[in-house]
Chain A
Amino acid sequence: MKENQKRYEVILAGSGGQGLVLSGIMLGEAAILEGKVVVQTQSYGIASRGGLSLAEVIIDQEEIIYQQVQEPDIILTLTEEALEKYIPYAEQQVVIFYDTTLAKARTGACLTGYPFTRIASDLGNLGSVNILSLGAMIAKIPMVKKESLVRVIQKRFKGKALEMNLQALETGTDLIRKGEQTW
């Protein structure tokens, strides 16, 4: 891992309805709070639910000219379809997180599987899978500080939803921090 890295490129891939565009936006907002330059783009199909859905985030210290991710630092894949699409990047030493609830388990140096969806469901809120996996990603690669994400979540959510999402973020970062593989 590069320390004091200047630029981060992130791909969040899954299916419509998993909230990946929203977590991409929140990651971007957290980076903006830290004074960074951010571009977030998305690619999606016609369905609000289902179909390959994709959010890209680039975080930089200076102007981002080309808006699409070209050299990803980390890729999150929440479905089998998304994992299949991005698995070739693992050979280029790109960190790939995937969801063992929805995709078949793989082995490979850069491939790390967590049952994100099951954990989110166990926490009582399937919808927080996006925040949970985002938590794991920033614990793995320090693109933004956790506190910045907490601030973004506090701005966007209220009451029970706020509590749930903060808990999801915490659980996600713990996955990496504590190296828990017991799920």
Chain B
Amino acid sequence: MQGNQAMSEGAIYAGAKFFAGYPITPSSEIAEECSKVMLKIGGVYMQMEDEIASIAAVIGASLAGAKAFTATSGPGFSLMQENLGLAVMGEVPCVVIDVQRRGPSTGLSTKPAQGDIMQLRWGRHGDQSVIALCPATVSECFFMTVKAFNFAEKFRVPVIMAPDEIIGHMRENFSLPTPGEVEVIDRKKPSGSPENYLPFAADKDGVAPLASYGSDYVFHVSSSMHGPDGCSNNDPANAAWRVAQLHRKIEMHRDEIVITKTFSAEDAEILLIAFGATTRSSRAAALELRKRGVRAGVLQLITLWPFADKEVASLGGRAKTVIVPEMNYGGQMAGEVQKVLGGGADIRRVNSYNGEIITPQDILKAIR
């Protein structure tokens, strides 16, 4: 199965019933798959006039009760940012798949990159938190998409899946799990009297229940600053509370959200920190180093945002050298690693930005 297909299968498994998108390489297989499946399962597939409309329709459908998602790549992801901000502000669950390709601008549309790392986190104006996940195998494409929907529903937040083109287009052995085998989470619904329903009054877990348009619970959602009832509220105290709550609900559940994997990393004096396709190059490089008697290991970041600071501090603090291979020019993730480990740490960056993958040999060169 192909990575892109595994992500659409993961979405369907998680209960997605609405897809709106606009074709763009290298993500179009996801739309094509959904256009076949959605109509058969009673869902909706729509090709919109652009990516701005696509994410808007996804958010609208989500408020009407659907688990909804879209898929895109660089240029389309840029177009989605403003409305994605509404999903943050209006706390609307949704999933966006950004299959990363080489930029800037339209760049090399069929070639892989990991250049959107900062855009995933900070692409929207204002001041907000989202969750971003990055798979490295076809199997992770499936399971992490289910996870993305679970996080979106549980925390009422947009979740971005950010594979690179290699992972999106790669095919590997994979058999779909049976229904019930993997946990699927649905959004918390309101109970109690509809007159007292406040769609933005967070419970102790930082998240308010969310009704659907058309239910007994009438509600108001706004892109502008709003009070617990969802209506405009310009009071500074309310604004401070709202902005903090949007960050805090993610911080509170940080340990649940941050997913990492390690490969012989416990005793590593050389630690490779990687995500997406470069995880695979890093693992091959670490195995080669172990063969040569060097204690090397890999920390794979599946959750890119929020950043795995504790895991990096713990494993990176023990290693003599930390290497961060990534398919971008400046080392977008290496900068985050540096923030955690401090200026004195031996952090080496291995970067490719020509549209080609980083090979295990490229990584080994950084160690000599």
Q: Which residues of A contact B (CB under 8 A)?
A: 25, 28, 32, 37-46, 64-68, 70
Q: How far is the CA of A84 from the CA of B109 in the complex (A)?
A: 25
How far apart are A16's CB and chain B's nearest CB, in angstroms?
A: 10
Q: How far is the CA of A68 from the CA of B277 in the complex (A)?
A: 10
Residue pairs across A and B with CB atoms within 8 Å: the count is: 45
> Is A66 a contact partner of B283 (Cβ separation < 8 A)?
yes
**167-189 of chain B: CB within 8 A of chain A:** 169-173
Closest A residue to B284 using CB positions: A66
Out of A37, A42, A44, which one reaches B173, CB within 8 Å? A37
In the complex, what residues of B have CB within 8 A of residue A40's CB?
170-172
Whether the pair A42, B169 counts as a contact (CB closer than 8 A) is: yes
Check if B283 sits within 8 Å of A46, measured CB to CB. no
> What are 17 residue pairs bridging A and B, where the CB atoms are less than 8 Å apart in the complex?
A25-B171, A37-B172, A38-B171, A38-B172, A39-B172, A40-B170, A40-B172, A41-B171, A42-B169, A44-B110, A45-B110, A65-B287, A66-B281, A67-B166, A67-B170, A67-B280, A70-B359
Interface centre among A32, A42, A65, A68 (most CB of B within 10 A): A65
Enumerate chain B interface residues (CB-CB to A < 8 A): 25, 109-111, 166, 169-173, 277, 280-281, 283-284, 287, 357, 359-360
A43 / chain B contacts, CB cutoff of 8 Å: 110-111
Bound Cα distance from A43 to B109, whole angstroms: 11
- B360–A66 CB distance below 8 A: yes
B171 in contact with A68 (CB, 8 Å): no
If A44-B110, A46-B109, A46-B110 touch, whether A68 touches B359 (CB-CB below 8 Å) is yes
Shortest Cβ distance from A47 into B: residue: B110
Question: A38 contacts which chain B residues (CB < 8 A)?
Answer: 171-173
Q: Determine the residue in chain A with the shortest Cβ distance to B167.
A: A67
B residues near A25, Cβ cutoff 8 Å:
171
A-B contacts besides A28-B171, A40-B171, 20 pairs, CB < 8 Å? A32-B173, A37-B172, A39-B172, A40-B170, A41-B169, A41-B170, A41-B171, A42-B169, A43-B111, A46-B25, A46-B109, A46-B110, A64-B172, A65-B283, A65-B284, A65-B287, A66-B284, A66-B359, A66-B360, A67-B280
Residues of B contacting A39 with CB < 8 Å?
170-172
A9-B110 Cα distance, complex, nearest whole Å: 23
